[in-house]
Amino acid sequence: MPQPLDYLRETASQTAGPYVHIGLAPGAAGFQIFRRELGWDIAGPNAPGERIRVEGIVIDGTGSPVKDVLLEVWQADANGVHAHPEDQRRDQAAEGFRGWGRVITDFDTGLWAFDTVKPGPVPGRNGSRQAPHISLWIVARGINIGLHTRLYFDDEAEANAADPVLNMIEHVNRRPTLIAQRSMRDGSPVYRFDIRLQGDNETVFFDL
Amino acid sequence: MLRNDKPRPGEFFQRDRSLHPPQYTPGYKTSVARSPRYALLSLENTISEMTGPVFGHNDIDPIDNDLIKNYAKTGDPIGERIIVHGRVLDESGRGVPNTLVEIWQANAGGRYRHKKDTYLAPIDPNFGGCGRTLTDENGFYFFRTVKPGAYPWRNYVNSWRPAHIHVSVFGTSFVQRLITQMYFEGDPLIKVCPIVNTIPDPQAIDQLIAPLDMNAAIPLDCLAYKFDIVLRGRRSTLFENRLEGN
Ligand SMILES: [Fe+3]
């Protein structure tokens, strides 16, 4: 017998279930308990950059909106800096910028939305550069392990064309599933990003 | 294997998907229409995934980890008083310090304080059912709560969830993000639960079952269960890490 490799094994995932809001967004479950909930303010009031809204619905394999989903958001600031000790430029991070958020869908329509600043490009591997993007993580009843995906911006065509992750998607016709569509509403930019869990135009999800 | 040195920066170990439930698990019916059909695209780590949110003591309050007191209105909630404690570790056995752990659960009768829960068991006026805490510098955490009840749910006509506590953990990186459920040693409903049985690996299921921990119980007050949570580990930087290139 060789020596044992004494690594521990990662704890298995289980679905967040239908009542995820109780733990992670109790106000939406219908009660007030904590002094403040986490994840409602991604960028803070003072971070530089373009203020944007991102919205969409998550659609299941039957074409219906998923109304009990919870999404988490992780992104760099407008200069491409993450508010994290391992980002070498962390001391340049915008003041008050956290880069993390948590949003839930409307129980009737399935629509979700968050307000943030548009991120800048960030370093990729081996000296490459990644197009501006937001990382998303999706949990819900019926999702056994959280789904990771990325949101890119349709007004960044040049950067997207050079993005190492988008270029890794062999099926070129699936790349647009990761690109949000910009429009203006009441003078402010809104990006639409629908996520399809299954079926036609299934969103590209990642094993990170 | 317990080590107390801090995780060293490096790329994360590939996730062992064989001990997680697959997305498509027909025995858990809701997964059928909510599971991707294409293979996940495997990505090597970049700065976007190796970073993640950082939380501090100004984000939460000390009472947030005490579910017996954090929603009490007229007295303590009904139910078996328990402590749930353990350690957040990575696959190398290092404690994960200062990481956010959030839990939610049904009350002792199996009813959630949620506007979408219509089970006939009563709401407990003194029980909210959620809590949160940060691990200490060695990865230890604890909560005080009441043991949740089993509850029925619509999957088969007679499906019941074993008593469980939902647990959410961050780690230091977005790739470590994990939501799971903790079960209680000795519960006969565990082996017939369609959600538990989405996990194909029996050893991975056992790892979700918290043992009774009499040494952590408080005599004449409170029983205790121990639940360690293992997040993905990171490579040691034995050779230079070329993630950023240049
Ligand atoms: Fe539950």
CA distance A187 to chain B (A): 30
Task: Give the model's pLDDT for residue B36.
Answer: 98
Domains of chain A, first to last: 20-196 (2.60.130.10)
Q: By C-alpha distance, which of A193, A103, A206, A168 is closest to B175?
A: A206
Q: Are A155 and A182 in contact (CB under 8 A)?
A: yes
Q: Of B87, B161, B232, B234, which residue is the catalytic one? A: B161
CATH of B17-33+43-231, one of 1.10.260.40, 2.60.130.10, 2.60.40.10, 3.40.605.10: 2.60.130.10
Indicate the pLDDT class of residue A27, thresholds 50, 70 and 90.
confident
pLDDT mean by block of 10 residues, chain B; 246 residues: 54 96 98 98 94 94 97 97 98 96 98 92 96 98 98 97 98 97 98 98 98 98 98 76 46
Whole-number percent of chain A with pLDDT over 90:
87
Task: Give the model's pLDDT for residue B237.
Answer: 66
Task: Give the model's pLDDT for residue B245.
Answer: 41
Task: Give the model's pLDDT for residue B1.
Answer: 44
**Residue B192 CB: number of other CB atoms within 10 A?**
13
Q: E strands, chain A, where?
A: 51-59, 70-75, 100-104, 111-117, 122-123, 129-130, 133-139, 147-153, 179-185, 188-192, 195-196, 206-207
**Which residues from chain A sit within 8 angstroms of residue B132, using beta carbons?**
23, 34
Q: What is the ipTM of this complex?
A: 0.96
Task: Give the model's pLDDT for residue B10.
Answer: 84
Burial of A186 (0-12, 13-18, 19+ CB in 10 A): exposed
B166 as an active site residue: the answer is: yes
DSSP state of B95: B
Task: Give the model's pLDDT for residue A30.
Answer: 84
- Dihedral of alpha carbons A22, A26, A27, A30, sign: positive
Distance CA B2, CA B92 (A): 8
Task: Give the model's pLDDT for residue B235.
Answer: 87
pLDDT tens by residue, A54-96: 999 999 999 999 999 999 999 999 999 999 988 888 888 888 8
**Any B CB within 8 A of A4 CB:** no
Averaged pLDDT for residues A173-178: 98
Is residue A112 pLDDT above 80, yes or no? Answer: yes
| Interval between CA B237 and ligand 1 midpoint (Å) | 40
B71 as an active site residue: the answer is: no
Q: What is the pTM of this model?
A: 0.95
Whole-number percent of chain A with pLDDT over 70:
100
Domain boundaries, chain B: 17-33+43-231
* Helix (H) or strand (E) segment spanning residue B167: strand B164-169
Task: Give the model's pLDDT for residue B240.
Answer: 47
